Amino acid sequence: MTRIEMAQQILDWEARRDTAGHLKVYALPANDGGGAYEIAGINEKYDTAMAAKLKRLLEQHAYEEAERQAVEYIAGNTDPVKDWSTEPAIEFFLRDSCFNRGAGGAAKILQLAVGAKIDGAIGPKTKTALRAFAGRTVLLLARLRMARERYEDMVAPGRANLRAGLENRWDNAFDASLALELAA
């Protein structure tokens, strides 16, 4: 699976679409933390310029261009994780984590999973801890799934209205990563 295919899958999980299947702008709940609106998970608070650009493209009915640019943006934003693991399944799970929680959050999720010091920097100690999981990708994926939930509880507790959707997302990322590993 290429980085663009990974980004397209992340977009498909995030996107709300109209009846014709086009991306659409949607309002966020007040406690979401991403501002007033987003398009395919690209929100106006953290991704201000890109969200505005995508919104303009959708208003101009340039649907294919909006989707292409959103996929490229997601791929670029999740590229920091590409060198953390040589396992495509792990990279995919971490890309999804990175898109939702940034590179620092994805690093902390990985560190939680491998038992490394949680500092958000992937250095020699985290890489050594990660190497201990060589050949045990399924186990690491399970630990990453659990770590993602623990991390969310640490950084954004008390958002019950969002919890079911988040858990569904984490399960989808785990299932897709596991399928990628089993197909290898």
For residue 171 the two structure tokens come to: 């399960």
Q: What residues in the chain have per-residue pLDDT under 70?
A: none
For residue 84 the two structure tokens come to: 């953390």
The pLDDT tens digits of the residues spanning 40-91 come to 999 999 999 999 999 999 999 999 999 999 999 999 999 999 999 989 999 9
Half-sphere exposure of 162 (CA within 13 A, CB side): 16
For residues 176 and 97, the answer to whether their CB atoms sit within 8 Å is no
Helix (H) or strand (E) holding 78: helix 63-78
For residues 47 and 99, the answer to whether their CB atoms sit within 8 Å is no
pTM: 0.93
Q: Look up tokens 């201990």; give the residue.
A: 132
Q: Is 167 left (phi over 0), alpha (psi -120 to 50) or beta?
A: alpha
DSSP secondary-structure letter at 83? T
